[in-house]
Chain A
Amino acid sequence: MRQSSLDKIQEYKKELLDLVTDPVLKKIIEAYSFPNPVNQMETELDKILLEILNEENKENKKSNSSRL
């Protein structure tokens, strides 16, 4: 890929990052990189979802004694 294209993409990424406020979406945009941007974003999203799934939720632990 040409340097000029990579520079443009960097600029677009930066502008998109400024546009979104959601930290999860920011992480996904951050992951956008060549040569395979979709794959990179998917890998990041995999990581985010697995982190949520496997995270030892402190709130959950509390909820064992929490009241409904």
Chain B
Amino acid sequence: MKRIKRIKSLTVQGFRGFNKLQEPIEFHDKLTLISGQNSYGKTSISEALEWLLYGITSKIEDASHNKSEYLGSYRNIHFPEEQTPFVEAVFVMDDGSEVVYRGELQADETIQRYFNGQKIDNWTWAIDAINDPRPFILQHALKNLLLTNPSDRYQRFTKLIGEEELADLQDHFISLSTKYDPPKEVTNFLNSFSDLEEKIKSLPNLEKICKLYQKGDFDKLFATINTECSSRIGKSLADADEILVELKNLRGISVAKYFDQQLILEAFSDEEEKQISDDTNFLINAITDEFSSEYLGLIKLATIQHIIDHAKFLNHGLAELLNRPKECPFCGHSLTESETTKIQHECSRVNEEESKTKNLQAKREEINSKLKALRKRFEQGYSRLVTKSDALLSLDTQEVLHKLEAVFGIENKAHFDAVKDAIQDIRSKKELLNSSYQAAVICLDDMDDSLIKSTETPEKIKNLADALVKHISDIDAYKKKIKDHATAISFASKVLTNILDMQAGTQELSVFIELLERREMLNKRAVIIGVLGRVKELQKQVKEYVSNKIENTVNVDLTVVSPKNGIEP
């Protein structure tokens, strides 16, 4: 498709500042400068060309207020009424050919277009170019372009030169580097180091450690920690875990003079939550309708037990009958042929009944296995749950709580109260959990017993289902209490550690312990901080790229030829 390369000439009549027909304005093939006094029609030339190409001028299109104010403003007020205002341009195409665009102003302010003398509805390129930038800046619009904030000005200039995508691209990357909020887990992870950082900063003896930490030089950091720790432990150890054990022992001995227990209540991890959820689902799905009907089907076994006994009795009689065919094997009376046949018939009927019971017996084994699996999962799940609060509840003695209260002191009484509340709440839920566990165990025992003694009843399976439902509900309540109190206990634990370290003079040991315990996390933190830093740097690279692209556009596509290279005055 041919494209317009340049304007060759423009003829205007009756439009804006132009009244009667003038000589065509001839344009230079590189650059044309138009000069003139005020109100001599310089702006009208630009408006005429813009109107011819787009059917509207930006002055009217961009009018923020009532556009009707501009009605009739295209037509020159002195232009004779019987004549039609028009703008006509000769364009040179990129293949060197020339085309004539003509626009006539209609009475309703619309434009009637002519292409090489042929009336047309629109220019062939008009639909494709509907959103293209229009390279016109009129005097009135200069203030919009210049008197605005830098970001908008940048946007408007790039739009003017047809590179608004570059401005958008730059904005998007700036937005990413300045407004991005990492996911909550990542932010929490990064924030989890703030206490440690504060501690390191607050200890004058750890200045070197502090600098290495801030620099992120972990190799040197841990080498320094090793040296520091060796002198405290009194022997040289190279293994981090061995050093940790020694440091913890050292700190434990010092701190135990004040308080020798640990304050721990960890919230359930995602993995633990999933395990509990799997266990609960297993319990819910264990007592299905199918399982119930299979279990209840076993009730038949009890009712037909006498058939099995009868079969054994008759089979014994049949064996005797083979030896003495004419004599009753049980009472010795002589038998007629029909009596013998009757005995044989009865015996085969009873044997047939017995074979049916074998299927039921197999089913009993199956149900027994299912119950065993249920019991195992049930016990394991319970054990996992209750141990979660063992550490905290071990503090629940008058002596320990008294010591803890003394260590926290009046100043930190709120933390002590939080510990007491947590113990009370969790203990009460744990007792309920234990109670429902014991009830379910009794029901399971009852079920097992019924299978052994053929005493299956609908009540037994209903009782088990009810007990499991109650237990699941208690699991939820217990879990919720642990979740509710975990944060407060964690906070209280940190405060307790700080108090004990202050009292025992083990602050530095605590910092070393935490650094060593979290050494893997420190590496991870460094990687995350590195990524976030590089994303911030990315905006600089994008800015430089965009700047180069725009400079290139200006230099190549919008070349201005200096007068000495041939512009005519």
Instruction: Quote the shortest CB–CB distance from A17 to chain B (angstroms).
Output: 11
Give the shortest distance, in Å, between B134 (CB) and chain A (any CB): 15
Given contacts A38-B175, A53-B528, A65-B239, contact A25 B223 (CB under 8 A): no
Binary A-proximity of B187-224 (CB < 8 A = 1, otherwise 0):
00100000000000000000000000000000000110
Q: Which of A12, A37, A63, A65 is within 8 Å of B166, CB to CB?
A: A12
Residues 237-254 of B contacting A (Cβ, < 8 Å): 238-241, 243
Number of B interface residues at 8 Å Cβ cutoff, please give it: 39
Whether the Cβ atoms of B535 and A2 lie closer than 8 Å is no
Provide the residues of chain A in CB contact with B169, threshold 8 Å: 9, 12, 32
Name the one of A2, A22, A53 contacting B185, with C-beta atoms under 8 angstroms: A53
Which residues of the partner chain B approach A63 to less than 8 Å between Cβ atoms? Answer: 240, 519-520
Q: Which residues of chain B come closer than 8 Å to A66, judged between CB atoms?
A: 239-240
B 164-199 to A, binary, CB cutoff 8 A, 1 in contact else 0:
011001001101100010110110010000000000
Task: For B223, give the chain A residue with the smallest CB separation.
Answer: A68
- A24-B523 Cα distance, complex, nearest whole Å: 17
Judge whether A68 and B226 touch: CB under 8 Å: yes
Residues of B within 8 A of A32 (CB): 169, 172
Asked if B383 is at the interface (CB within 8 A of a chain A CB), the reply is no
Chain B residues positioned under 8 Å from A68 (CB to CB): 222-223, 225-226, 238-240, 243
Tell me if B4 is interfacial: C-beta within 8 Å of chain A: no
The reply to whether B538 and A25 contact each other, CB–CB distance below 8 Å, is yes
Which chain A residue lies CB-closest to B164? A5
**Within the complex, which residue of B176, B185, B223 is in contact with A45, where a contact is CB–CB below 8 Å?**
B176
A52 to B529, CA, bound (A): 11
Residues of the B chain whose Cβ atoms lie less than 8 Å from the Cβ of A9 = 165, 169
What are 27 inter-chain pairs, A to B, with CB distance below 8 A?
A: A5-B165, A9-B165, A12-B549, A16-B545, A19-B545, A22-B534, A24-B535, A32-B172, A37-B172, A38-B172, A41-B172, A45-B180, A45-B182, A45-B531, A46-B182, A52-B524, A52-B531, A53-B185, A53-B189, A53-B528, A57-B523, A59-B520, A60-B523, A64-B240, A65-B239, A66-B239, A68-B226
Q: CA separation between A48 and B222, bound complex, in Å?
A: 27
> Do residues A38 and B176 form an inter-chain contact, with CB atoms below 8 A?
yes
CA distance A49 to B538 in the complex (A): 16
CB within 8 Å of B: which of A30-58?
A: 32, 37-38, 41-42, 45-46, 48-50, 52-53, 57
Chain A residues near B176: list those with CB within 8 A. Answer: 28, 38, 41-42, 45
When C-beta atoms are compared, the residue in chain B nearest to A16 turns out to be B545
Residues of A within 8 A of B541 (CB): 16, 19-20
B534→A24 contact, CB < 8 A: yes
Docked CA distance A16–B165 (Å): 14
Given A41-B172, A65-B239, A67-B239, residue A53 in contact with residue B186 (CB < 8 A)? yes
Given contacts A48-B531, A67-B239, 4 further A-B contacts (CB under 8 A): A45-B531, A50-B185, A63-B519, A67-B238
B343 at the interface (CB under 8 A from A): no
B131 in the interface, Cβ–Cβ < 8 Å? yes
A15 vs B223: C-alpha distance when bound (angstroms): 44
Instruction: Give bound CA distance, A20 to B539, whole Å.
Output: 11
The majority secondary structure among interface residues of chain B is helix
Q: B542 within 8 Å of A by Cβ?
A: yes
B231–chain A nearest beta-carbon distance, Å: 14
Closest chain B residue to A37 by CB distance? Answer: B172
Chain A residues proximal to chain B, CB less than 8 Å: 2, 4-5, 8-9, 12, 15-16, 19-20, 22, 24-25, 28, 32, 37-38, 41-42, 45-46, 48-50, 52-53, 57, 59-60, 63-68
B527 adjacent to chain A (CB < 8 Å):
yes
Question: CA of A11 to CA of B207 in the docked complex: distance in angstroms?
Answer: 51
B186 touches A50 (CB 8 A): yes
Bound-state CA distance A40–B279 (Å) is: 38
Cα A41 to Cα B519 in complex, Å, equals 30
With both beta carbons as reference points, the residue of chain A lying nearest to B537 in the complex is identified as A25
Residue of A at shortest CB range from B229?
A68
Q: How many whole Å from A9's CB to the nearest CB in chain B?
A: 6
Q: Which residues of chain A come closer than 8 Å to B166, judged between CB atoms?
A: 12
When distances are taken between beta carbons in the complex, the residues of chain B under 8 Å from A15 are 545
In the complex, chain A residues whose CB is within 8 Å of the CB of B165:
5, 8-9, 12
Kindly identify, within residues 504 to 557 of chain B, every residue whose CB is under 8 Å from any CB belonging to chain A: 519-520, 523-524, 527-528, 531-532, 534-535, 538, 541-542, 545, 549
Known contacts A65-B241, A68-B239, A28 near B538 by CB under 8 Å: yes
Q: Which residues of A contact B189 (CB under 8 A)?
A: 53
CB closest residue in chain B, given A64: B241
Closest Cβ–Cβ distance, residue B148 to chain A (whole Å): 22
Cα–Cα, bound, A20→B544 (Å): 12
Contacts of A41 in B (CB 8 A): 172-173, 176
Across-interface contacts of B243 in A (CB, < 8 A):
68
Q: Taking A67-B239, A68-B240, A68-B243 as contacts, is the C-beta distance between A52 and B528 under 8 angstroms?
A: yes
User: Do the beta carbons of B531 and A53 come within 8 Å of each other?
Assistant: no
Taken together as a complex, chains A and B put the C-alpha atoms of A52 and B538 apart, in Å, by 19
* B222 CB contacts on chain A under 8 angstroms: 68
Closest chain B residue to A60 by CB distance?
B520
